[in-house]
Amino acid sequence: MVRSFKYYVVSWFVGVKSMEYDYSELLKRARAQIPEVTLKHERLEMPRLFVSMAGLRTTISNFKEVADTLDRDPQHILKFLTREMATAATYHDGRAIFQGKFPRDTFERLLQRYMDEFVICPVCKRPDTQVSKEKRLSFLVCNACGAKSAIKQL
């Protein structure tokens, strides 16, 4: 059952004008004005990690892209990964180079833990957050719901 609505538009120049709209037409117009970001169910999509091993070193060649997706400083992510993996690492030209051989799934699992602790809001479960530092404490401030949660220092 499709309903039609009758609207009266008052204009300074034209006067009173009657306009009829069909519900499905109004719905199409409304959906066309919604940005694509809100139509997606999964808003935070991690790019596929490009991991390569050469000798005793493991390189993530798209580390800058990952950091940009998470909207975090690459050095902060690198510090988290080096502590969790108990190894040394350097960041150079958008790449992260780790000492040792590590498979891709290790990095994916650790990045998921990083997201749970430092990116995803614990209240509304959205990734729209920022890390703010007040004195010696760090907080995860959500831009969506306004929640402010304490996070551990690295």
Cα of 146 vs its chain's centroid, Å: 16
Please determine, for residue 114, whether its predicted confidence score (pLDDT) is greater than 80: yes
* Secondary structure class of 118 (helix, strand, coil): helix
The whole-number pLDDT of residue 39 equals 42
- Taking only the tens place, the pLDDT of each residue in 72-91 is 899 999 999 999 999 999 99
Q: Quick one: 70 exposed, middle or buried, by C-beta within 10 A (0-12, 13-18, 19+)? A: buried
How high is the pLDDT of residue 27?
80
pLDDT, residue 35, reads: 62
Tell me the mean pLDDT in the region 2-14.
55
Question: pLDDT tens digit string along 10-55?
Answer: 555 555 555 666 778 878 888 888 765 444 445 678 888 999 999 9
Supply the pLDDT for residue 142: 86
Q: What ranges do the domains of the chain cover?
A: 4-33, 46-119, 125-154
User: Residue type for 139, please?
Assistant: F
Strand partners, 97: 59, 90
CA distance 144 to 109: 26
Return the H-helix or E-strand segment holding 74.
helix 74-85
Q: How many residues does the chain have?
A: 154
Give which of 61, 64, 60 is closest to 75, Cα–Cα.
Answer: 64
Rounded Cα distance, 90 and 20, in Å: 64
CATH class of 46-119: alpha beta
